Amino acid sequence: MLTVAGVQAEVHVPYAALHPLRPAADDTELPPFRVALDRSVPAGPFWTECLFPHLREAGLPPPAAGMLDSTGTRPRPTRGARRMSTIVLVHGLWMTPRSWEHWVSYYEGKGHTVVAPAYPGFEVEVEALRADPSVIANLTVPETVAHLEKVITALDEKPIIIGHSFGGTLTQLLLDRGHGRAGVVIDSAPPEGIRVNPPSQIKSLFPILSNPAKRHQAAGFTPEQFHYAFTNTLSAEESRAVYDRYAIPAPGSWVWSYGLLANFTPGKQETWVNFHNEDRAPLLFIAGGADHIMPASVNKSNAHHYKGATTVTEYFEFPGRSHWTCAEPGWEQVADKALDWALQHAR
């Protein structure tokens, strides 16, 4: 049964048309092919010379995007089967969507639709946010989550959601609210309830937490502080180039409220998630073994907090990679791991 523009029709193809893929001595017909229009047509003479003429004979145009089983049998869609997907990339603190620039083109080159939304008010360029960081200082987590939910619900399908750093926290919040077919969090900042604070994390955040006034400001790093917290696997010169192109201040209130006080404040805070949510989409944690600001131990503890019996939560660690793992040399391995896992487990 073939669906084109909402119309279904059977396409009968003789065995002889399959030669040399499946030669036969007679003109016995195959069972009707099924074409999934949201998948890519493989290149090759069988598809262009054998199948498409039969589509034309049936009065149907060849699909612009479709796939048939290469054995000539009816493909059976399965959970986690690879297909073209919509991917939402959520950036973290001290960053903007520009930090995903390599991933956007990389995933689009694989045929996926990619959306990298900014936090509310962050739609301008990095340079403009540095010049006037007032929108950063006043931003809240609830309005950011609401903004991302609006972006996601406007999409044509449930997306795969991938978040880095505090974007990982936001991804966990979004998954907990029922969004996404699968989620991947990379070097994720923790939601409420994770009580692991390694020394390198404390040192990374100390420039913000050492000054209470920064709780109400847009709080940034110096190039040297950024090098320690984000790009410690790069040289000073390489780190400075990253800083100059990507770094902006972060809401100081977020660092104070969710990095220091959330676990000591009574009641559920704005970064609380239900670790027992049985309806949550599959979730993968990817950590970097050399990450200073969100060390692997933080991500591992976060992953182990999820206890839903029917949900999938996994943890993977790349040794020797920093918090800048999504753009430091070898970032393609991280991008491939995230996407392959998500496509395999998406529901």
> Residue 119 CB: number of other CB atoms within 10 A?
25
Mean pLDDT confidence for 215-225: 96
If asked whether residues 121 and 259 sit together in one domain, one would say yes
Whether 34 maps to a domain, the answer reads yes
Reduce the DSSP state of residue 38 to 3 states and report it: coil
**Residue 332: per-residue pLDDT:** 98
Q: Does residue 21 register a pLDDT over 50?
A: no
If asked whether residues 267 and 155 sit together in one domain, one would say yes
- Which of 10, 37, 57 terminates a domain? The answer is 57
CATH number at residue 208: 3.40.50.1820
pLDDT (tens digit, 9 = 90+) per residue, 259-287? 655 666 666 879 999 999 999 999 999 99
Mean pLDDT of the chain: 82
Residue with tokens 């950063």: 136
- Using CA atoms, how far apart are residues 337 and 321, in angstroms rounded to an integer? 14
Residue with tokens 């960081």: 133
Mean pLDDT confidence for 19-40: 37
Of 264 and 145, more confident: 145
If asked whether residues 99 and 10 sit together in one domain, one would say no
If asked whether residues 154 and 218 sit together in one domain, one would say yes
If asked whether residues 112 and 207 sit together in one domain, one would say yes
pLDDT (tens digit, 9 = 90+) per residue, 146-205? 999 999 999 999 999 999 999 999 999 999 999 999 999 999 999 999 989 999 999 999
> Residue 44 CB: number of other CB atoms within 10 A?
11
**Residue 262: per-residue pLDDT:** 61
Q: Does residue 94 register a pLDDT over 70?
A: yes
**Residue 84: per-residue pLDDT:** 82
Q: How many residues comprise the chain? A: 347
**Residue 64: per-residue pLDDT:** 37
If asked whether residues 258 and 298 sit together in one domain, one would say yes
Q: Does residue 125 register a pLDDT over 50?
A: yes
Reduce the DSSP state of residue 119 to 3 states and report it: coil
Q: Where is average pLDDT lowest: 42-46, 140-144, 267-271? A: 42-46
Whether 306 maps to a domain, the answer reads yes
Whether 299 maps to a domain, the answer reads yes
Among residues of the chain, what percentage have pLDDT more than 70?
74
Closest CA relative to residue 96, chosen from 134, 126, 121, 135: 126
Mean pLDDT confidence for 39-67: 41
Longest dimension (CA), the chain: 84
**Do β-strands 218-219 and 250-251 pair in parallel, antiparallel, or remain unpaired?**
antiparallel
Reduce the DSSP state of residue 271 to 3 states and report it: coil
Whether 334 maps to a domain, the answer reads yes
**Residue 257: per-residue pLDDT:** 84
If asked whether residues 232 and 317 sit together in one domain, one would say yes
Which two tokens mark 68?
């048939």
If asked whether residues 227 and 146 sit together in one domain, one would say yes
If asked whether residues 193 and 303 sit together in one domain, one would say yes
pTM reported for the whole predicted model: 0.76
The helix-helix angle for 166-176 and 141-153 (nearest 10°) equals 60
- Using CA atoms, how far apart are residues 208 and 338, in angstroms rounded to an integer? 31
Whether 74 maps to a domain, the answer reads no
Q: Where is average pLDDT lowest: 8-17, 140-149, 165-174? A: 8-17
Among residues of the chain, what percentage have pLDDT more than 90?
71
Q: Does residue 120 register a pLDDT over 80?
A: yes
If asked whether residues 53 and 100 sit together in one domain, one would say no
Residue type present at position 121: G
Find the domain containing 235 and state its range.
86-345
**Do β-strands 86-90 and 113-115 pair in parallel, antiparallel, or remain unpaired?**
parallel
Residue type present at position 6: G
Answer for the pair 180, 279: CB distance below 8 angstroms, yes or no.
Answer: no
**Residue 268: per-residue pLDDT:** 83
> Residue 199 CB: number of other CB atoms within 10 A?
9
Tell me how many domains the chain contains: 2
Whether 187 maps to a domain, the answer reads yes
- Using CA atoms, how far apart are residues 170 and 173, in angstroms rounded to an integer? 5
Mean pLDDT confidence for 8-13: 40
**Residue 83: per-residue pLDDT:** 72
Reduce the DSSP state of residue 51 to 3 states and report it: helix
Q: Does residue 221 register a pLDDT over 80?
A: yes
Q: Is the peptide bond before 212 cis (omega within 30 degrees of 0)?
A: no
